[in-house]
Amino acid sequence: MNAAHNGGPLYRGTGELLPDTPYEDRVWPEGPPWRDFRAPAVMPPPPADDEADRRLGPPGRPRTPRPEEVRLVNAALLLRRPLLVSGRPGVGKSGLAYRIARELRLGRVLHWPVTSRTTLTSGLYEYDAIGRAQAAREGTDDERPGIGNYVQLGPLGTGLLPYRLPRVVLIDEIDKCDADLPNDLLTLFEDAWFEVPPLVRVKQAEPSATVHTADPGGTAVIEDGVVRAHAFPVVVMTSNGEREFPEAFMRRCLRLDIPDPDADTLGELVAGHFGDRLGPAQEALIQDFLRRSGRVGGLAADQLLNAAHLATSGLYRQDGGDAGEWQAVLAAIWHPLGGEGADTA
């Protein structure tokens, strides 16, 4: 069984996982010739973690994806292009990266949260020059660790290591970045390699350096100070629609807009985390959530999950004498995202 479901779409978005084929035997569809980077695949299989289960709920619950989601994710995978996912806060943009990684068995997601102070270098690597200088003063040549001990690859830098299958990199809330970052990413997205200057400067003395990666306890060997991808990573960038990006940046991306979830989508979300524990109360809770969301200009899906957890805790009744207390709790946790006072209607 290959990674493309015997010729079908690579990503289905239904929650169905690819068969658990050994990493070395899995086949990945070919991309365009101009997106074939051909670095030798030398990295071992990436580690897995339970972050996708924490964010999405355990696997196995059916999901009905929007056709546009399936279409654009598969196009991004086949074209080796980043996916820019936009939508209101709380609609599940970042969850898409974890769903792709879990369904396609691509290992743990490399998460790079962006702020106004984020630079391209911070996503690629960090170099502890002070630590190395201290070690140079304190030890003999034989006692000093190699320079790679002071280099830590960031999430994007780790994603560009030569894995046989692509890693999933989540660049979260990229519209918070400064004006330079989108343009700084252009060459990297086009060429899929970068230099680590501290390693380049010593490559005559240390042509091979073992550095730390963004995976817990992970290491990688870098030759001549250059990191070069074998498979372009699955890059998912999320945006709240707060800014415009340069045309050159947008030309290198595929854009997916995620609308506010409807009742069916919210029902699948709640069932994914809680199964059938809410019973008949689930539909009423979702309808109440949608009404309040419409009144206050939009609520986030995790606010619904908070309410669902309280509803299954056994501490509250949604009817009878405790109904007023339950409504007061909902008003507190379903507060407007803009920071205004809680809706009490």
Token code pair at residue 91: 């609609």
Token couple for 335:
């507060």
Q: Where are the domains of the chain?
A: 23-257, 263-333
**Strand runs labelled E in the chain:** 83-86, 110-113, 125-127, 151-153, 168-172, 193-195, 208-212, 219-223, 226-228, 234-239, 254-257
φ/ψ region of 169 (left if φ > 0, alpha if ψ in -120 to 50, else beta) reads beta
- Tell me the whole-structure pTM to 2 decimals: 0.90
Q: What is the C-alpha separation between 306 and 330, in angstroms, rounded?
A: 9
DSSP string across 9-20: -S---SSPPPP-
C-alpha radius of gyration, the chain, whole number = 23
Q: Which two tokens stand for residue 279?
A: 């019973």
Check: CB of residue 83 under 8 Å from CB of residue 254.
yes
At residue 249's C-alpha, the angle toward residues 260 and 195, to 5°, is 120
The residue type found at 169 is V
Q: Which fold has domain 23-257?
A: Rossmann fold (3.40.50)
DSSP state of 308: H
Task: For tokens 């890059």, name the residue.
Answer: 235
The secondary element (H helix, E strand) that includes residue 330 is helix 323-333
Q: How far is CA 320 from the centre of its chain?
A: 43
User: How many angstroms separate the most distant Cα atoms in the chain?
Assistant: 78
- Strand arrangement, sheet containing 234-239: 110-113, 168-172, 234-239, 83-86, 254-257
Per-residue pLDDT of the chain (345 residues; tens, 9 = 90+): 355 555 568 999 998 999 999 999 999 999 999 999 989 999 999 999 999 999 999 988 889 999 999 999 999 999 999 999 999 988 999 999 999 999 999 999 999 999 999 999 999 999 999 988 888 777 655 567 889 999 999 999 999 999 999 999 999 999 999 989 999 999 999 999 999 999 999 999 999 999 999 999 999 999 999 999 999 999 999 999 888 999 999 999 999 999 999 999 999 999 889 888 788 888 889 999 999 988 888 888 999 999 999 888 877 766 655 677 888 888 889 988 775 544 433
The CB density around residue 248, as the number of other CB atoms within 10 Å, is: 11
